[in-house]
Structure formats: structure tokens, C-alpha cells
Amino acid sequence: MKRSVLFPLILLVALLPVYGQEKPAEKPAATDKVVTGDQLYSEITVEDFETTQYSDKDMSFTKSGEQQAGVSIRDQFPAPITNSKKYLGAKIYGKQGDSLTINPARPLVIEKFCKSISVWVYGKNFSGELSMFLKDANAKVHRIPIGKLNFLGWRKMTITLTDDVAQEDKFLTQKRQLEIMKFLYKPGNTGRLPLWNYFYMDDITAVVREKYTDRQSDEW
């Protein structure tokens, strides 16, 4: 009698770990891929400095006292970008209150709707600040700070465009665009005597998408 009772109990104890284990998590069901807003955008090159020639005629600077400046295409230390071999070198002998303006050697236009603009910059730990002058679709020129160059080496510096930069076309046949008018560098050294400030610029790129259009049609 004892043996007949013990056998079912032993079998029950042996099976408890099996039934007590948690059920493995089921693999989530596949869902349709969601297209986000960012996937509408792509990055284009506005200027790579590979074929455009720059010289001192493409710059201007404040000239009071001993101030000097210069720009030229160089090839010793290109940015860490695929196929980059050349870049723009800039220098100014100045101090706080002086400035160097770099004018594009060719029109730098962006025809699509632009989310952001980036510039590869080589800083040499000077405290100067670099800015961009951008003309919008209404011909209004915006001065947009890119940032201080108080770092050493190449860095991709990006500015995000705000809603006050007009871009959209007002009607179908209109093709309005943005244009980079110039770059401005202002030395940050505050000493009584001027110092040489150096920096380099490489690929200028823009993150863009097609502009939205309303065909003004009664057809759905």
C-alpha cells in the first residue's frame, strides 16, 4: 500500500520543475517599417574645395596697424573625409576687434529645403569665433554663429536652420534658394599685441529634402 502511494508522489515531484519553468518569451511579431521624418532627408556636398581655386582676392579683413591675412587651397592635412585631398587654409594676424571675411570663389547655393549646414573645421586652440552669412529665399541675410575654434584638430561643426530662415517656394513655378554669402572669423585674443590665428575649412555639406508642393488641383 505504501509503495502504491509513494510512486505517484515521486512522479509528481519529478515533474514539478518541468511545469514550474517559465514559458520562453515569444518572438515579437514582425511589424511594418515606419518611415520617419529624418528618412526624407539626405546629405549633399555644397563645396569640397577640391577643384575651386581660392586666393587672397576671395577675402577681406580689417586693416589697422599691423593686421595681415591670407587664404589659399592646401593639401597637407585634409579632413578625415572620404576622397578629401584639399582644403581651405586661412590665417589672420590680429586681435579682438579685428576680423577676416572669406567670400566664396563661386556661388554656394542650396536649392532644396535645408535642415542643417555643416562645415569641417580644423581648430588650433585659438579662441576666435567663426560665423556664416546665409541669404534666405526672401533675400534676407542671416548671420549664424558656427562656434568658437578653441579646439585642436578636425571637427564637423553643424548649424540647424530655424523657421525664420525663409525657404519654401510660394507657388509652383517659383524656384527659390538659399545662398552662403560669406564666412566671418573674429580673433578672440585680448592682448595688446596681435597674434597669428590659423584655421582650416573642408567639406561644406547640407542635410536637405525635396520641397513640398501643392498642385492646386481639384482632383483627389
pLDDT digits (tens, 9 = 90+) for 59-115: 887 655 567 889 999 999 999 998 899 999 999 998 888 889 999 999 999 999 999
CA distance 130 to 186: 7
Which three three-digit cell numbers place residue 74? 592646401
- 42's CB contacts (< 8 A; 6+ apart) are 207, 208, 209
- 43's CB contacts (< 8 A; 6+ apart) are 205, 206, 207, 208
Q: Minimal CA–CA distance to 105: which of 169, 183, 40?
A: 183
Q: Read out DSSP for 60-87?
A: EE--STT-EEEEEEE-SS--SSTT---E
What is the model's pLDDT at position 36? 46
The CATH number corresponding to 37-209 among 2.60.120.260, 3.40.50.300, 3.40.50.620, 3.40.109.10 equals: 2.60.120.260
Place of cell 573625409: 81
Taking the model in full, what pTM does it have?
A: 0.76
